[in-house]
A and B are shown apart, each in its own frame.
Chain A
Amino acid sequence: MIKVSELTYSIAGTPILHDINVTLPAGRITALIGPNGAGKSTLLHLISQQIPFDRGRITMGGLDLAKTTAPARALKMAVVGQQLGVASRIRIRDLVGFGRWPYNHGRPTPKDQEKISEALSHFDLIGLQDRFLDEVSGGQRQRAFIAMASAQDTDWLLLDEPLNNLDLHHARCLMTQLREKVDREGKSVVIVLHDLNYAISWADHVVALDKGSIAFEGPLTEVATTDSLSALYRTPVVFGDLAGKPFVQYHR
């Protein structure tokens, strides 16, 4: 599990996150939700040690992440950020291949090739593998980055709004893949989501952030209620039931 304790972070004196105490359970899909500017991306950056923080401690399985080295971390967690872009002219297969860098340092083995092909096929990129990254659509590019993180084959996968540019088919495929990684391979996933229907249909655990603090957190079935969600987004969120599955209505 990833344990965040007493984490405080501010930019130029403005507090962005204050006194965060939260545990992200291993072997689960954890949905990180909250309004724009709540601090979700910041929290992911802090966990992945992209930015240093003022105060607090983040541990993974008891190991203080701030004391780990970058190569060691790359074997433990893969991160897909909210803003993706690469200046170099790179083909999709090569990009996904970089997911194996922590293992092979640029000398791919047959096993790496296998993992790369697997990731490509899981994210429906086989037909695009020889295309240049700057010559595919936004959603295709996003899938390429997710495939790269997936090829990294780490215990933890942190995804910041991965559904952003995906059509409904690919969004659903992605969630199915994540579910399988968790259920079959025992991986742990933390995913920032804005669409509550995805959150309640796929996540096991929810962490809700609001204005830099934890609004609520816990197992999905216990904490995600009409009241808690409506208060979080300051907008009416109504739970319903659609063909036997839970459903939330918030868009109108």
Chain B
Amino acid sequence: MPDKRLIWIAGALLAAMALFLIWGLQGKVWFILELRATKLAALVCVGLAIGTATVLFQTLSNNRILTPSIMGFDALFILLQTGLVFALGGFGYAQLSPLRSFALETIVMMGAAVFLFAAILHRTRQDVQLMILVGVVMGLMFRSITAFVQRLMDPSEFTMVQGAMFARFGAVDSGALVASVVLLAGIGLWLWRHHAILDVMALGRAQARGLGLAYDRLQFQMLCAIAALVSVSTALVGPLTFLGLLVASLAHSLMQSHRHQLLLPAAALIAALILVTGQIVFERILQLQSTLAVVIEFSGGLLFLILLARGRIR
């Protein structure tokens, strides 16, 4: 019997999804429905990916304020994407099918993230302030290298990567979408089977090892999963720095539990719910295109500052 609160969120999400599909439907019904369904699928995928990745990262880093985005994961993805376009040339990149380029980017992303973040977590886990600092510096570094590489590009290549730099919920690439769904399903299955282990990992490395977990191997697997999830969300809509923090905090205050069986689905569903409802409100009701990302970033950023100011960084 799943938790009541989860059923409520899932119900609300389903209702929002239905509303998103049928609101003001007229004219070429099937054509519009198909467009909307693609967009809806992307929104839900992004929500699930961001919610899950954030809770996983907070479990690994043993705090409740840092998220993959704050640590520069999505800046890293964009850097890799830019690097790939630069290396292959605009023409070569365009020749890759979207599915191929997404797969390639995700794999490189996993390698880079594991390599970088395993070392960083190992050194800074004890010290949240230091981790924030490292994250901010890395995010800046990734972004400036990206900007530098873009200077070197010719204009047609530049327009290719420029779309990836800002969150946008408009055009969604269906190849990447299919790959995302497959990735999400795989990761979901893995988490479904390992959620109890995650509860132990949340006790911290020393405790978890003392209780018999092969912590470092699990950390490696989780970093891979986080990297893949960030790839999904960044490839589909671009970077959303503070959504993860927002939904992880909401999930924690709603569930009041240490159990990932509750926390992971709560964060994932809340993120999807925020994105779908936000999109309905801003795009359909207020007719404000692309304001949603701004509002999410603003409220999430505010929350981050409040948490920091209150000293609630553990």
Contacts and interface: CB of A to CB of B under 8 A. Distances in A.
Measured as residues with beta carbon below 8 angstroms from the partner, the interface class of chain A is 20 to 34
Nearest to A71: B212
Nearest to A154: B210
Contacts of B212: 69-75, 101-102
Given A87-B314, A105-B196, A50 B203 contact: no
A189 to B, nearest CB: 16
A74 B210 contact: yes
A237 interface: no
Max chain A C-beta neighbours (<10 A), residue from B197, B210, B314: B210
A152 B200 CA distance: 14
Contacts of B213: 70
A134 B256 CA distance: 12
Interface in B196-254: 196-197, 199-200, 202-204, 206-207, 209-215, 252
Contact of A88 (B59, B210, B211, B214): B59
B300 to A, nearest CB: 19
Interface in A38-76: 48-50, 69-75
A78 B210 contact: yes
Contacts of B314: 85, 87, 134
A89 interface: yes
Contacts of A73: 212
A80 to B, nearest CB: 9
A192 to B, nearest CB: 15
Contacts, number: 71
Contacts of B258: 88-91, 94
B252 A101 contact: no
Contacts of B211: 74, 98-99, 101-102, 152
Interface residues of B, number: 26
Contacts of B279: none
Nearest to A75: B212
Nearest to A104: B196
Contacts of A152: 211
A98 B64 contact: no
A41 to B, nearest CB: 11
B50 to A, nearest CB: 19
Contacts of A91: 258
Contacts of A70: 209, 212-215
Given A70-B215, A88-B59, A106-B200, 4 more contacts: A69-B214, A70-B209, A74-B212, A86-B202
Interface of B: 58-59, 62-64, 196-197, 199-200, 202-204, 206-207, 209-215, 252, 256-258, 314
